[in-house]
Structure 1
Amino acid sequence: MRQPVLFGVRHLSPGAAWQLRRKLDEVKPELILVEGPSDLSDAMISICHPKAKPPLAMMAYTKESPVQSILYPFSVYSPEYQAILWAKEHACPCRFMDLPAGVFLSLQRRRQVEPDRERTTTDSVYNRLAELSGDEDHDTFWERRFEHWTAEDGYEQAVSEFGRQLRGCTMGVNLEDAETVIREAYMKRQIESAIQSGIAPERIVCVCGAYHVEGLESMEPMTEEEVRALPSVNCSSTLMPYSYYRLSTRAGYGAGNKAPAYFELLWRAMEEGNLEAATYWYLTRIANFQRQYGNMTSSAEVIEGVRLAKSLAMLRNDTVPCLQDLRDAAITCMGHGQFSEIALAAADTEIGSTIGELPEGISRTSIQDDFYRQLSQLRLEAFKSDIAKPLDLDLREKLGVQSERAAFMDLYRSMFLHRLRILRIDFAQVGQNRQERATWAETWTLRWTPEAEIQIVEAALLGDTIASAASFALRERAEASASISQATEIVRDAFLCGMPETVAYALGILQGLAIDEAAVDEMARAAEQLSILIRYGDLRRLDPSPLQPLVSQLFVRSCLTLPSACNCDAAAANSLTDAMERLNTVALHHEFLEEDRWISVLLDISDRDDLNTKCSGFAAAILLERGKIGEELLSREMARRLSRGIPADLGAGWFEGLAKKNRLSLIARLSLWRQLSEYLDTLDEGEFRRALVFLRRAFADFSPKEKNDVAENLGEIWGISPLEVADAVMRESTQEEKDLLEGLRDFDFDDI
């Protein structure tokens, strides 16, 4: 009985791809059916486009959130890819024959709800085979027995028998086997349909995993009624560049191999008809990498490596060295017995950093087209690499260039990268230390991964372009904002993305939230962020004037509520002094704010005795810095706050607040340290211990030089050598002093 040719393969197998092409040359089929979603056959035209460069991957994804996706990757040595190429070269019809992508996505969703708890059998069989053969792992077992098979006959039968035996050991154990049966019944239907169309069975070649050969031989085809009963979800598909790293088992790809770049070397060697060439290419690439990075590797070591690898292969009755033999030889001859010496070279040679390419307009969503178009316009294509690269941006206008785009190239790059950040596309990571200050300089780290492409495709649910998708994402976040700080962050992000309409929209949300009650520290933080945007608005070519009324509103509300908020405990005082510092910075930078109002608030807080003394001291420090408190007033306030009738913790707390600013100015005022010394002399032992808690905290942030300067002042006041005081302050504490300080742990700091 005439039967179609069922050619079993292993995905990503150069040996299978080479044997398949030879089989196709022999059969000269009228139709090639390839394992893959049957509704994605149109992608074959793009897959074998002259400018398309593997590795590539077909991706199907759901059209509704949360996005689910499935990937079908190809390398240059994938049997499926070579079957598609052969079909194009010989004008032979070719199509995929597996379940439609929407069915796969539906089944994937069900597996997530009902996970397979027994999926270990196949791996167990692989491990046992490697153990029995004495090989390190299944990849080595497969390479020795199948990748090096160059004989003209026997391969097809051997691989099919391997799949049949594996199936006998595992089929019927895992829940996923039910899906396998469904797939095989559907593929059998596709085969039968091709035969019924008038194509002779023997002129049909079916390329499928070796595991499926027996199923396709014995399975009954799926009926029309069963096809209609298949679950499915609405989905779209695209073709995307992939990388060798993602094809490797190291990245978690179950159908991958551990060394995709090495297997490409093996494929090229097969194409040249010289399998041994892979041995020389592997070891010379290791040596070349070592030399490029300053590690001396001689030609003699390479020659010895080749000899050793061949000897190791002979010990295993292999005709040519496999990857394990080559690595062992490289470790011995070039790594001096240590894998760590050649680890980077091995990773480069075995896995590599190859990323596929697709010409513009080939099987992409509109947002992908927009991404790649901007990547080209912004001259960022060189950063589409599997290796992380830094990018420093200067957002200022470049003078002496001929076009506006060139003058603001880095600014446009910044906007584009910030939009990717909003969409959570992991192509670029911003250096947070610079960005938080929003200066003219930004530092980014760019690294391309296939996950970034997937994230771009998923963003298609938000918009047709990067800009529209980022705008939609920001508007969604704005509508979900529940606090001033959240809304302010969105205004800032929209500003950095260069989206004035989105800034206005988020600003409206923020204004609505600002009407409600909010903590002073939250309003101060929001005012500070908006203030930064106003100051650097011209740098980003955006009009910051719409932000000014809101900054005024937040500033006035903060001024009204700050005094009462300062009636607080020590824990809250820290956040309030930070808020006061932010508000003071905002007031200093903008003339449209009422400075007199701010000074009046600070004077009120500084003078009052019913507020937290740390807040009062910090208010005095700001006034001193602004020149609103003179030497006489400061001395009088010191005398009032540090007097015998004031509890020690209150006086020391006030000094702690004062010492948070203007340290050089304070250190220069000898009268201040004389008053502090006289005050401490009036305290009894209990009061001194209590004051010491605050004084230690006040001086904790002083630099060694500042502490030394304070010691010199005290030495002059006490009439002793400043060096003696400095030595006493700076030297290691004695055990008695340590015991004294340890006793301070008994204090309840939350009540102070």
Structure 2
Amino acid sequence: MSGPPTGGDRESGVPAGGERLSTAPAGGGRVSGVSVLGVRHHGPGSARAVRRELERLRPDAILIEGPPEADALVTLAPGLEPPVALLAHVPAEPSRAAFWPFATFSPEWQAILYGTSAGIPVRFCDLPAAHSLAGDPDGPDEPEPAQVDPIGSLAAAAGYDDPERWWEDVVEHRDGDTPFEVIAEAMAAVREGHEPGGREARREAYMRKTLRAAVKQGFGRIAVICGAWHVPALTGPMPSAAADNAVLRGLPKVKAELTWVPWTYGRLASWSGYGAGITSPGWYHHLFDAPDRPVERWLAQAAGVLRDEGLAVSSAHVIESVRLAQSLAVLRGRPLAGLGEVTEAARAVLCEGDDLAVELIQRRMVVGDRLGHVSDGTPMVPLQRDLREQQRRLKLKPEALDRELDLDLRKPLDLDRSHLLHRLALLGVGWGTPGQARGKGTFRETWTLRWRPEHDLALIEHAALGTTVAGAAAQRAADLAAEPSAALADLTSLVERCLLADLPEALPDVLAALSAKAALDTDVTRLMAALPAMVRAHRYGDVRGTSAEGLAVIVRSMLERIRVGLPVAVTGLDDEAAADLLKHVDAVHSAVALLPDTTPDGAPDGASDGASDGASGGAAEGAGPRGRWLSTLRGISDRQDLHGLIEGRLTRILLDSGELDDAGDRMSRAMSRGQAPARAAAWVEGFLAGDGLLLVHDPRLLALVDGWLSGLPGDQFTDVLPLLRRTFGGFAAPERRAIGERLRSAGRDEGEGEQDVDERRAAAAVATVLSIIGKASG
């Protein structure tokens, strides 16, 4: 159903290779023969006109532009809720697919509904999808490469500078009275001298072939619904049947399957298989559903949308906006106010010039959030059908607009919903986008749900993986784990996703691949980047009731490799490398805190098993994960060759963990006069990274920083100021105020101390002063 957005029709006698197809004028006369109704795809005026013309013609067969493999799907149309689309795909290669969308206001859809309600055979007459999907050189979804813009030419001839506005005035705003014959004659004039080639020639040849076959089968009154650009090819002097067959001979062919899938107005606005996408499907839907006083009804609905958002819009606003829209239409010589006029009226009166309010109307009404629906009898792959059943069971209705979903994983229903959304994410079906949970508990999840038509295609692409969403997701996880290019971080993330999706059957393959990759990877930064996801996965085994067998062994193995490699990794780093490594250190430290702090044999932290890897010494060697990790950091922190940023951060981590009682001494050494100011500033930055509460509650450390900073010479202070500003700028505003108050308080106390007088020691001085001034002491 590709073609330029054109309209019009002409019917005349058509010789075809010695045969003559009897045609009838669209406006009256005989009702026998072939009537070709040229339309604009997705045009509400064309849709009403086609319905009226079919009711007048009462044909005994209807041919519609579209893939003929979909003929068997026509009978399902009355049970569908548009917008919907025909989806054609190659079973062996589902990503090769094409869509043919239909809306309520599509002329082809109205022709289908008329034919099915009247018991009239409805067939598609365009080039089969089997050829289009086989690698047609012009592509299955591209618009026709017309040499001229037919609408632009006709609009220019009528004195219009906007082709779309001309089409709306002469067709869409005529309340169903589309002048098929007149526009078709104009289209014939535009196409005069045009020789179709390539895909356009093949499409029109197949249309004529289908038309000849219908005549040969004995249908006496045939109505053809097609884009007006093709009307002259079906009504003018036509090539012979042999010539058309020669054009179609030897075309590549594949096996194609077709079905109906839901569509959205948002997708209809952005792309169309017709090659005739429209930017205002909501407006066109309104024109089709409300032919009576469409401007008044539209602006009243716009006022309702604004009121729903809390904006004050009165009936007087609506009345004045209607008057303005109608006045603009008169000034511009239009038979009816179009979308441009009602938008300008809404902007000036309803929205009072507020562009955000205009955008709201654009999103809610001009485009719309309508999502179509297909019936249960529609052909589906087992994966699609399983998802539909789960959507019903879990009470999750697919919708085209964003919907916020808060889940409490302690509830069975919400836990099942979470599993489904994570399984679909593994299959590339992004129905749900995870968000930031509002609570602090690990039992909460938030999602933003929005269904898109391409999700059906993703399900079809993965149909070979399994008949259920769970089975297909598990197989997909196993396939991803088996890929040679899978990195360590990818595999750890995959383990986490399997646990989130409750896919225990996929874990053995994924864990085996992860273990093999971790055993060979010697890059400590990659191991550190991968460990947090593994630890989170280990936790999910408790929170979600999912078995996490094998994870603990891999986590311990990775942590030991990190402990062995970290002392080397911190050597000889520049500022950028040190900052990057600290991010990994902080992440690993946070992850280790989540692990059960027991030794491999179940003993509590601190019970040595005699193991030693040489990473660090001390009593913590052989203890649980937390003790062994802190022992490694303690050993590194005592080195003299560390970057200041790393040394300061390790000191803070050990202090917060209760592993240091000499933090003040370490800070004094780091900020002594023997240290370069830049290194001292880096040490302070690492030590204070995160928050400033330590300085608020520890006067000694605050005094050390204050004394060091106030003792710097002017030039050195200027050098370290950017580092200090970055450090203190990262603190929350209340923390900065609290630090300032502590410093002010300390200064005030010091000042008051200087004013205190020891009267006993001052007595002699007082007596001397009194005698000098001639007063006796009392």
Secondary structure class of the residue paired with 2:191: helix
Structure 1 match to 2:388? 372
Residues 1:390 and 2:417 are matched in the alignment:
no
| Aligned residue type for 2:198 | A
Which digits, 9 at most, give the CA deviation of each residue in 1:573-611, with x for residues without a partner?
333333333343344332233444334323321222244
Cα deviation, residue 41, structure 1: 0.8
Q: Is the 8 A contact 2:138 2:198 kept in 1?
A: no
CA apart distance, 1:341:
5.4
2:700 & 2:354 partners in 1: Cα distance?
68
Over 3 Å counting, the alpha-carbon distance change for 1:220 and 1:185 in structure 2 is farther
Kindly indicate whether the alpha-carbon contact (under 8 Å) linking 1:438 and 1:532 is maintained by their aligned counterparts in 2.
Answer: no
User: What is the aligned partner in structure 1 of residue 207 from structure 2?
Assistant: 187
TM-score, scaled relative to structure 2:
0.78
8 Å Cα contact 2:108/2:225 also seen in 1: yes
Deviates more, 1:303-312 or 1:91-100: 303-312
**1:627 aligned to 626, 643, 658, which one?**
658
In structure 1, what is the Cα distance between the partners aligned to 2:445 and 2:451? 19
1:607 to 638, 649, 652: 638
**2:431 aligned partner:** 427
Does the CA-based 8 Å contact 1:98-1:186 persist in structure 2? yes
- Give the length in aligned residue pairs: 692
Say yes or no: does 1:55 pair with 2:83. yes
SS of corresponding position for 1:556: helix
Partner of 1:748: none
Give the structure 2 partner of residue 267 of structure 1: 288
- Asked if structure 2 preserves the Cα contact closer than 8 Å seen for 1:249 and 1:255, the reply is no
CA distance in 2, matches of 1:357, 1:114: 23
The answer as to 2:120 corresponding to 1:92 is yes
Equivalent residue in structure 2 for 1:12, among 42, 47, 53: 42
Whether the aligned pair in 1 keeps the contact of 2:99 and 2:273 (CA below 8 Å) is no
Match of 1:111 in 2: 138
Does 2:539 align with 1:535?
yes
Letter in 2 for 1:104: S
- Structure 1 counterpart of 2:253, one-letter code: S
1:674-713 aligned at under 5 Å gives the runs 699=728, 701-703=730-732
Whether the 8 Å CA contact 1:302–1:334 is kept in 2: the answer is: yes
Aligned-partner Cα distance in 2 for 1:253–1:299: 40
The secondary structure found in structure 1 opposite 2:378 is coil
Supply the AA of the counterpart residue of 1:204.
Answer: I
The Cα shift of 1:624 comes to 2.3
RMSD between aligned residues? 4.0
Which residue of 2 is the match for residue 571 of structure 1? Answer: 576
Q: Which amino acid aligns with 1:500?
A: P
Q: Distance in 2 between matches of 1:151 and 1:635?
A: 87
1:581 aligns with 2:586: yes
Residue aligned with 2:593, SS: helix
Does the CA contact (< 8 Å) of 1:243 and 1:354 recur in 2? yes
Deviations 1:407-441 (A, max 9, x none): x111121222222333333432211x449998222
Cα distance, 1:717 vs. partner? 8.3
Q: How far does residue 543 in structure 1 lie from its aligned partner after superposition?
A: 1.3
Aligned residue identity for 2:48: W
Cα deviation, 1:346-372, whole Å, max 9, x if unaligned, reads: 654443332222122413232222222
* In structure 2, C-alpha distance between the alignment counterparts of 1:291 and 1:648, rounded to whole Å: 61
Residue 166 of structure 1 corresponds to which residue in structure 2?
190
Identity of aligned residues (%): 31
CA distance in 2: counterparts of 1:302 and 1:126, whole angstroms: 34
Find the aligned partners of 2:452 and 2:751 in 1 and give their Cα distance: 62
**Helix, strand or coil at the partner of 1:207:** strand
Given residue 477 of structure 1, which amino acid in structure 2 is its aligned partner? L
Q: Deviations over 1:556-582 (max 9, x none)?
A: 111122222222324333333333333
| CA distance in structure 1 between the aligned counterparts of 2:476 and 2:118, rounded to whole angstroms | 48
2:27 alignment counterpart: none
* Residue equivalent to 2:768: none
Residue 34, structure 1, aligned to residue 57, structure 2: no
One-letter identity of the residue aligned with 1:85: L
Q: Does 1:205 align with 2:233?
A: no
Deviation at residue 28 of structure 1 after TM alignment = 3.1
Q: Distance in 1 between matches of 2:107 and 2:576?
A: 67
TM-score, structure 1 as length reference: 0.80
Structure 1 position 144, deviation (Å): 2.0
Of the structure 1 ranges 275-284 and 189-198, higher mean CA displacement relative to structure 2 is found in: 275-284
Equivalent position of 1:415 in the other structure = 419
Distance 1:691 1:91, change over 3 A: closer
Q: Which runs of 5+ in 2 are unaligned?
A: 1-19, 23-33, 599-623, 754-778
Task: Show the 5 A alignment for 1:403-482.
Answer: 408-431=412-435, 433-434=436-437, 439-460=442-463, 462-480=465-483, 481-482=485-486
Classify the secondary structure of the residue corresponding to 1:141.
helix
| CA shift for structure 1 position 709 | 6.1
Residue aligning to 1:22: 52
Letter in 2 for 1:452: H
* Partner residue in 1 for 2:162: 137
Tell me the amino acid that sits aligned with residue 499 of structure 1: L
Instruction: List gaps (5 residues or longer) in structure 1.
Output: 270-274, 398-407, 725-752
* Structure 2 Cα separation of the partners of residues 311 and 714 of structure 1: 70
Alpha-carbon shift at residue 162 of structure 1 (Å): 3.2
Superposed displacement of residue 257, structure 1 = 3.8
State the 1:552 CA deviation: 0.7
Amino acid at match of 1:178: G
Q: What is aligned with 2:262?
A: 241
Question: Of residues 240, 246, 252 in structure 2, which corresponds to 1:220?
Answer: 240
Task: Name the CA shift for 1:40/1:581 in 2 (closer, same or farther; >3 Å).
Answer: same
Q: Secondary structure at the match of 1:98?
A: coil
